[in-house]
Amino acid sequence: MTQATPDTSPTAHQGEAEPALHRVMGPWLLLLFIVGDILGTGIYALTGQVAKQVGGVVWLPFLVAFAVALVTAFSYLELVTKYPRAAGAALYTHKAFGIHFITFIVAFAVMCSGITSASTASRAFAANFSGAFGLDLGAGGWGITGVALLFMAVVAIVNFRGVGESVKANVVLTCVELTGLLIIICIGAWAIGSGQGDVSRITQFKASPEGGGAFWSVIAATTLAFFAMVGFEDSVNMAEECKDPSRIFPKVLLAGLAITGVIYVLVSISAITLVSPEDLGEGETPLLKVVQAGAPNFPVWIFGFITMFAVANSALINMLMASRLVYGMSREKVLPDALGKVHAKRRTPYVAIGFTTLLAFGLIGFVGGVPALGGTTALLLLCVFTIVNVAVLVLRREKVAHKHFRTPTLLPVVGALSCAFLVGPWTGRAMVQYQIAAVLLAIGVVLWGVTVLVNRHSRRPGAQAASVATP
């Protein structure tokens, strides 16, 4: 039976009344977006926690996480070039399985991971702001919360003004992030060249008191290090704001992953060479310890500012992703129409921006530490990645009129199995991460019920929420 090719134009689903998103992102802006999204809170804050679990081979979990992310990225490349729309994983899930409940939960999980990460980054920004200016705002007090809320409001304003302004801000912040990590790499290279530090640490595994062996310690550390590699999937939600996405995405996404993977391994080697795993795992500023150990005369406050802006970039990009995901799912009839409205002048999804910002405001006062939230974010996204890898194989039966990237069949299979494996409790993942994820998904189920009622009230069948999925 011949299948009709769905209309991929941005206005295909709600008519010409709604303006399309503004296509301003070329290959270089997209590359900086991807690199800036992957870099940030993860590497700046989690290097010490990974070292605490695995010891001197802290670079190995980052390398394993990179390999898993790379395999999954190939699946995303086939799907984003085949369906260049803003909804990302949720769109792929609905087109593959056509089950409104699963689609909604996937969208909710991805949105939650972005908003929770952005909220955590906002509090980290406030804490670094307090330290940089020598202010006593009180850890966990109203001072930190107030600064975090103000910062999130600024992010919302930048997001509302337009993706052009947002991406330009991302360019600046990404350059700041890269500068900080290059400082660490250069300090490590200079120290190693001058005979400082202990290079032999990079081959030393932490002794496991439970006798679990090196393999399971690396796997446990990988579940945390994977948080530092996520972010590449956010870029597919910007597809409607990219120029010729089917052509530029493959090279740009793979280049972004390769750049960040190399940087992470070099930063990890530099860090563990200059600071012991035990010291690196203490506190929340592991890379600052590397600077102090390798270049004691370097102005520490400068690196503090760099860290502050690095986590600011993470917040901006995550809120960009979350708002575009909500917008995209509204256009696909999975969320109410109101969330898909585009501002006539700014050409941005202003209702979706307001909705995701309000959720972030609510989360800022209740977030936990980086390991718990980072691990939970990775847990949710690994579940999503498993589904996306399966969706690639299911959607092979559907043809589209334009040319698109096609990944080798073996890679989605490997990606689905590896992501599913890293989700399990046998990896040593902390139980609190499953508890947080369960609470978030329970909230998602409630919101799904509300959405179904809204759809019925507006006479839109929830089981056929996305018209584009109908052949």
Query: For 106-115, what is each residue's pLDDT tens digit?
Result: 888 888 888 8
pLDDT tens digits along 339-360: 788 887 777 888 989 988 988 8
Position 62 scores a pLDDT of 92
Strands, E assignment, 72-152: none
Yes or no: say if 156 and 351 are a contact pair by the CB < 8 Å rule: no
Average pLDDT over residues 65-73: 93
Whether 68 shows a pLDDT value over 90: the answer reads yes
CA 221 to chain centre: 18
Res. 185 pLDDT band, cuts 50 70 90: very high
Q: What is the pTM of this model?
A: 0.78
- The distance from CA 380 to its chain's CA centroid, rounded to whole angstroms, is 11
Task: Give me the pLDDT at residue 2, please.
Answer: 34
SS3 55: strand
* Stretch 287-303: mean pLDDT: 83
Q: 365: pLDDT confidence band, cut at 50, 70 and 90?
A: confident
User: Percent of the chain beyond pLDDT 90?
Assistant: 18
Q: Does the pLDDT value for residue 47 go beyond 60?
A: yes
291 pLDDT higher than 90: no
Confidence at 410, pLDDT banded by 50, 70, 90: very high
Structure tokens at 235: 């870029």
CATH architecture of the domain formed by 27-469:
Up-down Bundle (1.20)
Which residues have a Cβ under 8 Å from the Cβ of 270 and sit 6 or more positions away?
184, 185, 187, 188, 189, 191, 192, 290, 294
pLDDT band at 133 (very low <50, low <70, confident <90, very high): low
CB atoms within 10 A of CB 341: 16
Q: Give the pLDDT band (50/70/90) at residue 316.
A: confident
Contact 144, 123 (CB under 8 A): yes
Nearest by Cα to 290 from 462, 48, 469:
48
| Residue 100 exposure: Cα atoms within 13 Å on the Cβ side | 21
User: For residue 460, is pLDDT > 60?
Assistant: no
- What percent of the chain lies above the pLDDT cut of 70? 80
Q: Which of 262, 348, 354, 279 is nearest to 51 (CA)?
A: 279
pLDDT at 417: 96
Which range (95-99, 237-241, 425-429, 435-439) has the least confidence? 237-241
Residue 412 has pLDDT above 80, yes or no: yes
Tokens 């700046």 belong to which residue? 44
Confidence of residue 186 (pLDDT cuts 50, 70, 90): very high
For 244, the token pair is 């010729």
**Confidence class for position 199, pLDDT limits 50, 70, 90:** confident
The predicted pLDDT at position 464 comes to 45
Check: CB of residue 356 under 8 Å from CB of residue 319.
yes
Cα–Cα distance measured from residue 238 to residue 245, given in angstroms and rounded to the nearest whole number: 9
pLDDT confidence of residue 22: 58
Number of helices followed by number of strands (H, E) in the chain:
16, 0
Mean of pLDDT over the chain: 79
What is the rounded distance in angstroms from the CA atom of residue 320 to the CA atom of residue 200?
A: 42
pLDDT of 260 higher than 50 = yes
pLDDT greater than 60 at residue 210: no
Residue 161 is predicted with a pLDDT of 78
pLDDT band at residue 284 using 50, 70 and 90 as cut-offs: low
Is the confidence at residue 35, as pLDDT, over 80? yes
Q: Where are the domains of the chain?
A: 27-469
What number is the average pLDDT over the span 287-309? 82
